[in-house]
Structure formats: structure tokens, C-alpha cells
Structure 1
Amino acid sequence: MSEDKKRIINHYKSVGRHGKQLVEEDVKAGSDTARFLERMEQRRLATPCYIAIDMRGKVEDSCRAYTFEGLTHHLDQKCINLFEQEAARYDGQYTVGVFEAVQGAEHTFRAQHEREQEKRIAEQKRQLAQAKSNAPKDPLFNKSTQNDSSDTVNESVQEAANEETDEHSIRLIPFGYRAQRKEGRLNYVTEVSIRFDNGTVLKGKTADISTAGIKVSLFGQTENIATETVLGVSFDALEAQYTLQLGFVDYTLIEQTQDHHGRTQFRLARTDQSEHEQFNIFIDEFIKSYQSRYKLELEDSLLALYAKAYERIFNAGSACSISLLGSLNNKLQSLYTATRPEEHSQLHNALIGSIAEHIPQLCEPSEDGKIANNYLLEAFLVKGKQQHRVYCSTRSALIKNKQFDEFLKVGSQCHLIARLQLHTRAISPDDRDAALQLLEPLNEEAPLRYQAIAEHWKKISHIAYYQVVEEKLSLDSPITGQSAQLTALSEYQLPPGAQRIWQLAYRNERKEPRYLYKTQASITAGKTQVNGETLDFSPAGMRIKLHNVSHIPMDLDINQTIKVDLPDMQKLAKKTAKLQNLPYRVTQWHPHDHSISVRRDYSVKSHDGESFFSRLIASNESKLKQCPEDLETTLVASMVEAMVSAYLSGIPLFIRRFPGGRYAIDSAAATENANALLWQFKTQDTFDFSALNLEEFFGQTLKGQLNRRSQLTSPINARLFATFPEQPGEELVIRDEVSMTDNREIAKFILMTRKSKRHRILRAQFLPPPFIKLEEFKEELSVIRSNSSNRARQFEQNIQQLVALVDIEDISAFYQS
């Protein structure tokens, strides 16, 4: 017996005097076990069956009602012949054997697909064998020098045969894509007639059906027809099945293609859904009744789900900072600034917030009023006891004033120095208005606040990315605001004031609502005492606005323990609670309105503030108004994320581990508003990122940097050197820094970037993948799972198996002056 026909089973068998034991047996033809199994199989197949067979949508020909032994089946003629032939083998009875024979008929779509798949795998095996035979021979052992172990060959064939996980293709994620179809398309095959404007009528069959449109394959050939041509469609088989007279329904031709059999296919949309009310009612009820039996076409929904999920991952994991700008009097002004919380985010936020506030002075337009695309900024921050000081200037201004070297020398000794490329892009009003629609839920909760944000949002005209080329932290720096070194650079000190920093990827996870309420508050932190008033409260914390301050005192640092007095509330509480010296911890700064958020100190078991506010809310909940700030923060974060997704500054890559210990690009993101770097990878109607798939470089960079879950633990920065083709057909070459011969070759390449735009220096920032709850996508995922559990599982695995994010950005401008 051949290897592929061996039958190895586990069963209980009498073994000598030991009685019956579970054994593993290689069943051979003619053996007692083989004959026993054959008798059992025949008995199973002869068992009466009571399941109605419905082959509609599973075979190419139309099906009709066929009654046998009081049970009505829906079969085509071939299935009826097979049914009667198999029933004769079982004395004219309908049995399990008849049921399985009809379901597995050779002319079904499933059987055709399986034969095509077997043929494809056989061809792939033949190609592998041919490649193996043509490989160079080892002269000593006369063997192929390729790895020809059977495990490797079988694994290669298996990977090639798996359409769902082709390791050689990079999935393209279109950021900003949302589901285009408002309704699912039912995979259902039924006969129709197509009437053309010249009176010709051709027969065809549907591939899918929805209320708004259908996809039809024609039995006959036809010439190319202009799109938007109106065609009449008659549902012949459905009319006969349900004894209806629907007549011809008008459809508009959207697209004409060919299927894999070479037959003409039409994609049609209803011309006017308000017409033909009888058909509307019928088709709606028909689709609803068949959704549990036939699958929905998932491509549109699945693509939208991947886009939404990977956008969320990118925004939650990337270290980007952005400003949304408006042009007022030919000057850029930052309207919204957002970044993602990270280690030492307080220093980063102070730096970015100060730069954003003073963009009009830093980024002046040219003499003709045009706004430049790139501004090269040098900046450093000095941490003070009262407030942080930020020094910033454009590189061109420092070079012009001959203070470039001195600025870097002093800055390198300060708490934070950064070299930034501020890259600006004009945005489309359509994209801006589309993002504004995400704010609509706030209109129900706080209409006035909604109106204020909407008017502010509509002023946006540009998006700016703060690309950090280099940065250095020296938290123990001895430099203070009184240093003589800083006095010489005082003209570059930015005036006090910083913009509000919105949080990218913010999602409200509070377990209890906050309520708007203003009452006097006094804060004590060490020797510092500040008066203010509460803006809102909850049992766990509150937000306090500080009075008579030009900046938030440094004694109120993040996570600092403070004491809060509520004198007016004490009068209300009387002796039921002591609202003095309440222990809280600072959780967040809001420099734009000189306020802080605080949360109760959980190291204290009994907290009078928590118990008092809990009782106050319980007895006055109907009178109190909920604070809409969390909803506002969440929605504005979503709006900003939508703009980031629509106008990428670089190329987001998503790295996954593949068989054989390979680290390669699983997915790459692109957008319709392609940036200059992304455009270099455009090929006809798609993007080709294969040149960026530097597996050896990925492996070397990630080695030793992964945790037990095989995910990157901390950010890593590296440089790539790209040479883009000058003429069509030339090769795109990308090299990592390790592959460069020495520093002289790197310096030579840098000189080339000043002479030719073909040579670009890219920054590859490796970032740990963030933890994303799949519950965020449960609604979209439930639709996918109900129609294809395999695709739903594949999506979950792709999300959970990400090793790292890589953000590729062009930083050539910093090396060109």
C-alpha cells in the first residue's frame, strides 16, 4: 500500500490475556480490522437520512423542487440523476450515502475549487522538484546544494498553497478606508435575464445579491458596454420559485470584467431604489431569510476592519507629534497639537507645546507669502524650579547669525536637546470635514462646546509633523536658567506659554462619570500653597483650576502627593466628613488653562473625600450635570487620528515573525494623499514595498530586544540609505547602515543627497506594538466571524503576532545644509 493510502487508527483490541487495550494499528487491506471498518462504514451509509438537500447557490445550473419520500429537495438535473442512482443502491431509500454523494457531486462549486487547488499544488510541487533538479550539484556528494530536506520542501509547498498567508506578499493597508457598502452582499446564484437598450436579451446568473445591486455572469459573450448604461434585469428563477411577476428591474452598469472562465461579468447598481416597491419588499425579505444559510461577501468589510485596526495600532504605538495649522494673515498658527504619552512625556510636551505656540515666529512664510514644506529646527529645554524654559530657532537663522555651534554646545548640556524637522502639508477641506463628522455625538451632550470646536476645526488648512531626527536627555543636568551660557542665547528663548497637548489614541476608560461643579479649593504641596476652584469632581478625583498663577508650579509635578482643602464643601458636609488635608496625587497638567487633574491617594485606606462625593452624587444625581470633557477628548483624539491617517508623514510598516525565524514585513500602510516618500514606491495602481523588506537587517536589529511574547520592548532608531531609480526599469536600492563599508562611504552618500534627489537618507524607528483590546472591533469582527470564522481568527492572529512597528521617514533635509 502506498504511503498516502495507509490507514492508521487507534482502537481497543483484545491483546492476549491482558484483555482489551487501546492500540495503534496500521490497517492493511484484507485484514480483519479492515473488513470490520468496511462493514461499519456500509452500515453508516445505509442509515436513513431526514435532511433536505438544497443545492441552490452550490451548482451552476438552476435548481427545482424535487420531492422524494415526502421530503422536498432543491436540486439541478445532474443532482437529481445522481440522487436516483445512489438511492437505487440502497433499495430505493434516502440514506446518508445518498446525501453525501449528492453534496459531494463533481460538478458543485466546492468540488471544482478543490480540483483547482489540487492541480495548483501539484504544479507547485513540480516546479519545486524542477528547481531542485536544476540546482548546482555538490561535486563531492553529487547532491543539490539547495536545502532539499523533505520537511523544507513540504513546508514550502504548504506555504505556497495557502492563499490566506502568502509569506511573500505584503498586505497593503489603505489608511483612511472605511466600508463603502452600506449593506452586505449575499453570495447567491440564481438565473436572470439581462435586457439591453437595443432589445437584446441574454441569460446569466448572479454571483451575489444585495438590495442596492448585483453581480452577474453572462452565459453568452457581449461587446464592451459603456459604464452608467441602464440595463433591465429579470429574476426568472426567483419568479418561478415564488410565483411572482416582478418584471424587469432597472440597473446601472458600474463595471464590466471577466471571470476566471472568461465569461463576461457585470457589476450593477439599482438605478432608483424608490421605484418598484414590490421588488424592494421581496428582495429585502429574501436576503434576510437567506443570510443564515448563505455567506456574505466580506472583502469590503474585511478591508475596512484591517484599516481601522492598523490605524489604531499605529496611532497608539507611534511616537509622532503633530500640529493642525490654520493660515491667518499669511502666518501659520497652531490650532491643535497632539502627541502620544511616553516616557518623559512631560519634558517632550513642554518642548512641543512651546514650539507649537510660537510657530508664527519660527516658521515665517517666504516673501511671496508661500508656506514652506520643511523647517529645520534646533531646540533645547532647561528644567527650572518654577517653569521649563525652551530655546528654539531655525537652523538657517542660527547659521546666518554664526551661532549654530554655540547653540548645539550649550543645548547638549541641558536637560533635553532635540533636532526636529517640521514638515507641513496642505490638507483637503473634504478630509477635514469628514473628520469633523466624528464629533457629532458631542452635539447631543454639549451643543455649545460642539459649536465652538466645529468653528475652530474648520479653520484648519495644514498638518505639521514634528519629526525628531536626534534627541538627547540629560535629566541630571546642572544647567539652570541663571547660567551665563544661556544669557548669550536669550534671543532664542521662547516666551512663556504653551498650547494644550491633545493625546493621540486616547480612549475614555473611566469607570465612573465626572460632574461639573465649581467650589473653592486650596492646594498644599510642601511649602507651596495655591488657591483655586474645582471644575468637576467624581468620587475618585477632581480637576482644579489654579488662581493668580502665570504657570503651574513645579511643586505640583506629576504623581506628586498634595493636600486639598474644600472649605465651602466642608460647611455643606458639617460633621459627616472632614474635607481638610485630603490626600490626592497629581495625574495630569493642563497648562493651557492653568489647571491640574488629581486622583485620590490610594495608599490611604479611608478617604473622606471619596465617601463624601459618593454620597453627594447618590442624593443629587438628577440635579448634577455630567462633565463632557472625556467624551470631547475621545472624539477630538479620533478626529486628529483621522487626519494623521489621511496624511502620513512617512511609511508605517508592521513586522511579524515568519517560519524559519524570519522577521519580515507583514503589512504596510498607504494613503490616497501619498507623501513624497510614499510616492517613490507607487507602481501603477498599487504600492510595492518589497525593497523595504530587509529581513536580515530586521533580524539583526531585533535580536536580543524581544520579550517572551516575541515583541519589541523599547524603541530603536536606525538609518537607511535609499537610491531611487532615475529611469523606468532601474532598480530601487535600500541599504542599512551596518551594510555600509565605513564612515567614508556614509559621508560620500550624504554628499550625494545634496546633489541629487535620487539619494535619500531615511530614518527607521522601530517601536513596540501597543496593547490593543480586540473588544474595540467586536461589532465589525462579529460580522466577519459569522460568515468566516477562519478569516476572523486570521485577523486576531495578525494583530496579536505583531513583533514591531517601523516608521520610515525621510530626514535627508537635515544632511543637506
Structure 2
Amino acid sequence: MTAPDLQEHLSIIERLKSSVQTSDFDQMFAVLTSELPKSKQFLLKMELKRLSQPCDFYIDLRGHVDGQVRPYEHQGKTHYMDEHAIEVFEQGIREYGRFTLGVYEDVMNTDNNYRVMHRKETEARIKKALDSDDTAGIEDELEAPSKHQARLVQFGSYINRSGERMNYSITVEIVLDNGKKYSAQTTDISVQGCKLKLARQVQLEAGTELGIFFRELEQEYTLDRSNPIRYQLVEASPLDQRSQQLRLKRLEQSNEQEQEFTSFIDRFIRGNKRRYKLNLDNALDAVIVKGYEQFFVPRTSSLHVFIAVHQGKSNPQCALTTENNRASFHYFQDEQQRSVLPQVLSAKRLKQLLQQPEGQRQTLLYCFTHAAKGKLYFYTATTTELLAEPALLTLFQGFGASKKSWKVFQLSFLTTSADFSQLHFQLPGSDTKAPASNTRLLDAYLSPLRFIVSMTDLTDDSSTSWYQQHSYDKSLIRQLNQFAHPKLNQLPFCEAVPVKYVNLRSEDRYLYKTTVECFNAKEEPQPEAFSRDFSPNGMQIETLLPVHLQRGDIVRLNLPDLQKISSKYSLKQLPYEVMAISKSGTIMNLKVLENDQGHAGKEFFQLLIQNNRSKLTVAEEQVKHPGLAPALRNMLIKAVDSFPFYLHRKGIRYEMKAIAQGGLPASLHQLLDQLPSLPEQINIEPLIKHNAVSLTFASQLKQMKRQDPPQCYELYLKVLPQPEGPPELNCHYDYEFNKEPDKHAFIQQLIEDKAAVFCYRIWLSRTGRPDSDFIAKELSYISQYAIHKAKLLEEELWSVVGVGELIDISEELLLRLGIPEAQRQQQRSLRLRLLSAQPTAGATAAI
């Protein structure tokens, strides 16, 4: 880049840069620089020769410019540039005659380069502050909210309106009961209420009743109004130092004049809503909330168990299962495939959790199993139970971690209600009907549900290795029998309820049973098998005996019975890829493996479906209680206490643009809420340090498919309270440490420095496409009045490529590393003090 002392002579450089290699360069240079001192002439000539030097650099603008980057070939080299950079590059080649340093610098300094944009913004702010001679302006700049902001999405916050609101501004007169009158302006108006801008600070309390004269409407439409329309103040909020906004709702329409005004406003809005535009805020918010909910719930890694209370007795009744947590549900099934969750989540343990303060109802559950004489025995113990006898803690952890069945779960106790089972959004307007209520059968099933226990599997190889290091007295192993669950003839039934938002299959599957001969890659015959269902691109088969295959293996199938009805296609040695296999090893999901010659099985099934569609039965999941999964999903999102976040892709850039919050804010919500942020935003600057999103998370997501299990990370947060202002937050991810002992030393040093240590486990999943049907009604409504806003919403949701769930495991980390009880207690006190320093803003209740 041209040195600052030559910036004033850029016009000369632009005139001469294309002539450096020509014979008349010296003559032109002498004419243009005759008035400059010799020293400047020398520097200018050196700069021109530098810019004309040939360049061998590769240009890669991926992630550096605001534009779509694509490959660009030049003289056998592939550069990555956006359209603007390509124009600058080609212009430079024409001027210099080849790829030079001048061309390279011009391309790297285009106006849409983030570095250039940031520099210009900084210079403009400094210039503005200096021009106004306002030193406070510079100080305010230092205290301004960080640019690293993300949208804060409040799960379950659907704001229903009984009528449409129209953006409409007219002058009205406010009359208080004490006779005082004020002039105000409407900002929007509906049959049931309005918003006003009052250009003076009047002390009004929520609930105050007042009257309004719509003077302009009375004059224009000859309304006979001798009495004002009665309203009640819902909220008064300041807009600036001189004005405030009043939110009002209509009081009961008790007389004929009130009802006439209601009819007039209704007709007025219907006739003018396309002219003055409707207020679509509630519909826009509903699309955002519903859209992000449907990304999160199917990808949650925690197993959410719903607890029913019958006549004072609690019992796990069902669990909401997803692709990510299904393994946790299966873990707690015995040799008869019965769930032992009613034993594991006993009434005694649930009572202990309920007695803890709200927001602290958590514990750790350590588990392992023992197989003997064809039976599976479960051993489980909570932190509270083991700490009652400290010797048992190391014994249980050390012995249990030596077994392959070792698991560590974090239990979080949440409250819920069947009243949350219906969280429908109702569009405003008289043509919109309220959604149907639950059936009596479903209501009877949901009504006893009072609590949710969120079970999060924290087990991984690195953490297990720490538990395995605990020494214990082998002679005391028999004492672990007190934590064994006895075998019972009858167990309360706890069912798995799979959640499903969108059919992620590209095609329907059809139920059909036919003989299948299966061979592995070595052409060895597999156990006798038959099909369960098929589609043109895949098949599910079941074998009578377990097979020793795994995902990714190639098998070849013969379909002897189907071959009898087809002479056109050869249904022998058809190649398929194993996509999934059941825990029992007997059920396999297969995908067609095509080659250049196509696939005879795919062509056969396409023709079979086409000619027999009316005779075939579509494979659909059998539901015992219709509507149960959506109802449980609604109850869950109102109780979630984790920290969901979303990664968006724009071109080649990955960004964390949205954070969600359920019924209770997580500790990270509360910490980040203490940092400066914009309205309805949350400051995420500590989380994205060290290029976590643009490098680590983005690289991981590029390698993942939607059906892949989540990738796990750990985040260590050092928090230092400050005498004034928000605390200092410093984040470190586990991949920044080369060895496990380095992590231990780092955590130990933080504890010795009296800093508060928060540890979070992150589960990062690849998302599928958004469920368009789930938000189609709202998008259609918005498109009628603001199609550009509907398109922006669709673009935002379609750009989501990853969803993460972050859960506080601070206590588990300290126990895992063997931190002494005194230091653990000190850390608990520090964390609680920080979290209670400033209440989280959260989200206001829906009205």
C-alpha cells in the first residue's frame, strides 16, 4: 500500500502507473513532477517501480469481503475473488499489462473489504469526535456495545392479537379523569387498542383509565362524538428525554356509541390496510421464534423425561427422544427392553432436587451396568448420595469408569404444566379461527405431568480417563451393591415419544415384505432376511439373526420373489450402502449405490410405485396419542434451561447470529446479559474469540451431514468481577490445550487466582432444511402486506447450517479433576455471587 507521505500525490501515481515500462516514462514523469523537490521525485519513482513489479501472490478473499467469492483462473493460477474484486483485477491487468504488486494491492483494498470498511468507520468516528471537539464522544465510543451482537430469541413467546393493527398517525386528544387534557399522535391503531406518542413527560401508571377524542377522524368522517372512547393504559415507556410511548387497550364497549366506533374502526382498517401498512411485528416475531424452535428441538442432546404426579406419588411417564438423545433412552433399558428410568429417577431423588433453590436444581448421576446370567443390572448414584460417604465417591467412580458401560449424566430438574401444551400463534383478523384444543384422551395423558428431568450424557474418552485414575480399595467393592437397582417383575411403563418436525426424507417409503438374499463385500451370505419397506432410493431390511456389518459397508441384494414378476430388470447383486443398523444388529437401513450404468433396483421400484401407488401403503409412524409429540415439545420449550445458539452461513462466512432462551436463563445468559448490548440483542464477543466460529465450528460443519452425531467441545470461562461496570470474561476452548494435564493446570491456576470458573459442554449439530409447513401460515400472511420482509425471514432461516446446545457442567469438571471440597465450595460461592449481581433481562411476558 502506498506510504502515507505519498498519499497526496496519488493522482500522479494513477497517471503514470501504466507507463512505467514504456520508453517515454522518464519524459512524462519529469513534466508531471517538475514542481516537486528532488527527494519527493525520487520517492515517487521508487513507488511507481515497486507497484509495477511482477507479482506471484495468490489472491484469496474468502471471508474477507462482503460479497459472493468464486474461483477465478489467471495464467494457470486459481484466485478466489468476488465480482467487484474481479473488475478491479481485470482493470489493473489492462493498466499495468500484467499481474503486478499494484494490481494485488488494489484488489486487497476494495471498498467492500471488511478491513477497509472497519478502518474507514474508525477514521470517520474519530474525525466526527474531533470536529465537534467532544472528548466525551470518544469515551462513549469505548463504552459502546460491541458489534458482536446476536438476536435473542425467547422460546414460546408468541404474541397473539385479536385484531389487525394498522400503522396510522393522526392527532388525538387525551382526557384524564382529573380533567387534564393532552395532545398526542397515534403510531398504530386497532379495534382493541392503539399506541400513542405523547410529546411530554406525564406521570401515568399502568392500569390508569383515560378517554381519547379522535378529532381528525371526527372531522373527516363526520363522526358524532360527544364522549371520548375509553381506554386503559397497559404500559408507558420513554422514547427520548421529551416524549414517551403509551400502549392502550379498549375498555368494555358498554354503549351504542362505543359499538358504532368499533364498527367504524374495523371498516376503516379493512379499507386502508394496504395503503397505510399493517403492523406485522407479532407475525414477524412468531416466524422467528417458531423457526428457531423447530431447528433446536430435534437436535437437542439432552433426554427430557416427563414426570407425572398421581395422588402425591411421582413417576417418569415418557421421554421426548431425538436422533441425538435416543442412545440415552436405550441405555436405561434392561434385557427385556423395559425402561428402568422409574427406578433411576426415584421419588427420593426427585424430592432432593425439588428441595434445591430454583435455578440450582441439578446433580450428577454416575452409572454402570453389570451383566450376569442373562440379566442386566444397573448401578446408579448421585453426587449427593456419594458425598455422604466420601470414600464411596472415589470407589464408585474408579471402579465404574473401568467398565465399558460407564456413564455420567447431569440431571436438571425443571417445572412444567399441561397448560403449556398448546402454544399456538393466532394471526390477527376475523377470518382466523383459534386452533382446536387437545382431545380428551390427550388431556388426560398430559394433565398429571408436573416436572421435566433433563438428562445430559457427559461421558467421553477424556473425562472417563480422569475417573479411571481414582484409586480405590478393591475389598470395598461389595459396598456398591447398595446402589444396585433390584430386578422387579413389574416396572411402571415409561415410553419414548419421538419428536419430528419435518419429513427429512426426500421420498415416501412403502410397506412391503418380500424375501431378500443379502451378501457382504466378501460375497459371504448373510442370515435370512426380508424387507420391511422400500423406496426408489433405499430399503429397510430385517434379518433373523444379527449381522456383523456397520455403517458405510457395501452389501449386495437378490430379490428372488420380485424377480418372478419382472423380466425387464435383473434384481440380482444389487449394490446398496448400509446407512444405519439397529442396536440388535438385525435391522438395516440401506441406500442405493449407483454407478455409471444406473441401478436396476431403483428403476424397478420407480416403475412398481408408479403403476401400483393406490395399492401400496405408505410407511407412517404409528402414534398412540395423536398430537402427543407436539404437546410435549411445547411444554419443553417453555422449560429449557440450556443455551441454544445458531450458526448461519452467508457465502463462505459462518456467523453466530442468534441465541435462544427457554423458561429459565442459563448461567451464560446471565453473564453475557451484564455486558453492553443493543435492545433485543445479546453480546457474544467472549464466545467468538480465537475465531471459534469462523475457523473451528465452520470447519467442523463443512465435514458433517445432517444425520451425523453432534461434535462436542468444552468451553472454560474465566470471570473476574470489576469494581465498576460488567465483569471481565475470558473464554478458552478445550482444543487450545495440547494435553489433558495442561487443562488441569489451567483450571487449578484460575482457582488459585480467586477467579470464578465456569465450564460449558457444547454439542454442535448440522441442521437440515427448515420446516416450511410449520411457518407457512405466518409467512403467507406477511407476504400479503410486506413480501420483502417475508423473503428476508426465509433467507435468515434457510441460512442456518448449525445448531449448538451449551450446558453448564462446572460442578462436574471440578469433581472430575479431583478439586478439594473447600475449593469447590469457594467456586460455588463465587459463581452464585456473579449470577446474582445483576438479574438477567430475559424477555417480557407475552400479552
Given candidates 472, 496, 503, the residue that maps to 1:501 is 496
2:281: which partner in 1?
A: 299
How high is the TM-score relative to the length of structure 1? 0.59
Equivalent residues of 2:673, 2:682 under 8 A apart: no
Residue-by-residue CA offset, 1:336-359 (whole Å, 9 max, x unaligned):
2223325xx775552256699223
SS in 2 for 1:699: helix
Q: Provide the residue aligned with 1:815 in structure 2.
A: 813
Q: 1:640 to 1:471 in 2, by over 3 A?
A: farther
Instruction: Give the Cα separation in 1 of the matches to 2:722 and 2:443.
Output: 45
Which of 317, 335, 359 does residue 335 from structure 1 map onto? 317
- Among the aligned pairs, what percent are the same residue? 19
1:462 to 446, 451, 454: 451
What is the correspondence of 1:317-336 to structure 2 with a 5 Å cutoff? Answer: 317-327=299-309, 332-336=314-318
Alignment of 1:617-628 (within 5 A): 618=614
Q: Following TM superposition, by how much is the alpha carbon of 1:636 offset from its aligned partner in structure 2, in angstroms?
A: 3.5
Q: 1:421 aligns with which of 397, 402, 410?
A: 410
Question: 1:366-390, CA deviations, whole angstroms, 9 ceiling, x for partnerless residues?
Answer: 4994446334233468999x99968
Question: For 1:760-802, what per-residue CA distance to the aligned partner results, in whole angstroms no more than 9, with x for missing partners?
Answer: 4322415244133373434323444555555445434443445
Instruction: Give 1:331-480 correspondences, 5 Å limit.
Output: 332-342=314-324, 347-351=327-331, 357-366=339-348, 369-371=351-353, 373-379=361-367, 392-394=379-381, 396=383, 400=392, 403-404=395-396, 407-411=399-403, 414=404, 417-428=406-417, 430-432=419-421, 450-472=439-461
| 3-state SS of 1:350 partner | helix
**Paired residue type of 1:670:** Q
Answer yes or no: is 1:646 the counterpart of 2:638. yes
CA-CA distance at 1:256 after TM superposition: 2.9
Q: State the Cα deviation string for residues 481-539 of structure 1 (Å, max 9, x = none).
A: xxxxxx99998589699954333443246799999x9x99999998867999x9x9999
How much has 1:270 moved relative to structure 2? 1.3
CA contact (8 A) 1:651 1:678 kept: yes
Shift of 1:811: 0.8
Match of 1:172 in 2: 152
Distance in 1 (alpha carbons) for counterparts of 2:783 and 2:126: 33
Find the counterpart in structure 2 of residue 775 from structure 1.
772
Distance 2:548 2:540 in 1: 17
Distance change in 2, residues 1:708/1:470 (3 Å): closer
C-alpha spacing 1:689/1:522, structure 2 compared with 1 (3 Å):
same
Q: What's the CA shift for 1:462?
A: 1.5
* Matched letter for residue 765 of structure 1: I
User: Map of 1:671-750 to 2, 5 A cutoff?
Assistant: 671-675=662-666, 678-681=669-672, 692-694=684-686, 697-700=689-692, 703=695, 706=698, 715-723=711-719, 725=721, 729=725, 731-737=727-733, 742-743=742-743, 745-748=745-748
Contact 2:579-2:590 within 8 A present in 1 as well:
yes
| Cα distance, 1:559–1:506 mapped onto 2, change above 3 Å | farther
SS in structure 2 of the partner of residue 706 of structure 1: helix
CA distance in 2, matches of 1:315, 1:564: 40
Alignment equivalent of 2:218, drawn from 239, 254, 258: 239
Q: 1:258 to 1:282 in 2, by over 3 A?
A: same
CA distance in 2 between counterparts of 1:630 and 1:267 reads 48
CA distance in 2, matches of 1:775, 1:641: 18
Select 2:762's aligned residue among 760, 765, 768.
765
Contact 1:174–1:669, Cα closer than 8 Å, also in 2: yes
For 1:274 and 1:339, locate their aligned partners in 2 and report how far apart those are by CA, in whole Å.
51
- Alignment of 1:314 with 2:302, yes or no, is no
- 1:649 & 1:177 partners in 2: Cα distance? 15
Residue aligned with 1:238, SS: helix
* Structure 2 gap ranges (5+): 1-7, 9-120, 355-360, 427-432, 463-476, 519-524, 567-571, 594-598, 816-847
State the AA in 2 paired with 1:503: P
Q: Could you tell me which amino acid in structure 2 is paired with residue 325 of structure 1?
A: I
1:253 is aligned, of 233, 237, 246, to 233
Give 1:227's aligned residue.
206
1:587-624 C-alpha deviation (Å, 9 max, x unpaired):
999999x99898999976499999999988848x9xx9
Match of 1:668 among 659, 662, 682: 659
CA contact 1:662–1:695 (8 Å) conserved in 2: no
Match in the other structure for 2:172: 192
CA distance in 2, matches of 1:256, 1:134: 34
Q: Which deviations, in whole Å up to 9, do the C-alpha atoms of 1:381-427 show, x marking residues without a partner?
A: 8999x99968552255776286435544533xx3x654221222222
One-letter code aligned to 1:394: A
Residue 289 of structure 1 corresponds to 271
- Are the aligned partners of 1:316 and 1:770 in contact in 2 as well (CA < 8 Å)? no
1:718 Cα offset (Å): 2.0
CA separation in 1, counterparts of 2:622 and 2:752?
Answer: 50
Pick closer, same or farther for the CA change 1:793–1:722 going to 2, 3 Å: farther
Aligned residue identity for 2:364: L
> Quick one: distance in 2 between partners of 1:264 and 1:691?
27
Q: Which amino acid aligns with 1:748?
A: Q
Query: Higher relative CO (CA 8 A, sep ≥ 6), structure 1 or 2?
Result: 2
Q: After superposition, where does 1:515-530 map in structure 2 within 5 Å?
A: none
Paired residues of 1:691 and 1:732 also in contact (CA < 8 A): no
Any idea what SS the aligned residue of 1:224 has? coil
Q: Is the 8 A contact 2:158 2:425 kept in 1?
A: no
**Worse overlay, 805-814 or 778-787:** 778-787
Structure-2 separation of matches of 1:627 and 1:216: 55
Check 1:292–1:400 CA distance in 2 against 1; reply closer, same or farther (3 A cut).
same
Superposition CA RMSD, Å: 6.2
Separation (CA, whole Å) in 2 of partners of 1:131 and 1:716: 51
Change (3 A) 1:760 1:389: farther
- Aligned equivalents of 1:684, 1:229: Cα separation in 2: 35
Q: In structure 2, what is the equivalent of residue 213 of structure 1?
A: 193
1:636-675 CA-to-partner distances (Å, cap 9, x unmatched) read 333333233222232223345899x997643322234335
Does the aligned pair in 2 maintain the 1:185–1:296 contact within 8 Å?
Answer: yes
Flag the 1:545–1:745 CA change in 2: closer, same or farther, 3 A. closer
Matched to 1:178, the amino acid is Y
Determine if contact 1:217/1:263 at 8 Å carries over to the other structure: yes
| Superimposed CA distance per residue, residues 671-690 of structure 1 (whole angstroms, 9 cap, x where no aligned partner) | 34335554455559999996
Aligned partner of 1:266 in structure 2 is: 246
| TM-score, normalised relative to structure 2 | 0.57
Contact (CA 8 Å) 1:506, 1:633: kept in 2 or not? no
- Give the Cα separation in 2 of the matches to 1:461 and 1:435: 20
Q: Check conservation: 2:641, 2:662, Cα contact below 8 A.
A: no
Shift of 1:287: 0.8
**Offset at 1:234?**
2.7
Q: 1:349 to 1:367 in 2, by over 3 A?
A: closer
Q: 1:654 to 1:332 in 2, by over 3 A?
A: same
- In structure 2, C-alpha distance between the alignment counterparts of 1:633 and 1:418, rounded to whole Å: 32
Separation in structure 1 between the aligned mates of residue 752 and residue 699 of structure 2, nearest angstrom:
39
How many angstroms apart in 2 are the aligned matches of 1:782 and 1:431?
A: 26
Q: Tell me if structure 1 keeps the 8 A contact 2:642–2:806.
A: yes
Distance 1:128-1:665 versus aligned 2 partners, 3 A rule? farther
Shift of residue 184, structure 1, vs aligned partner: 3.2
Q: Are residue 637 (structure 1) and residue 624 (structure 2) matched?
A: no
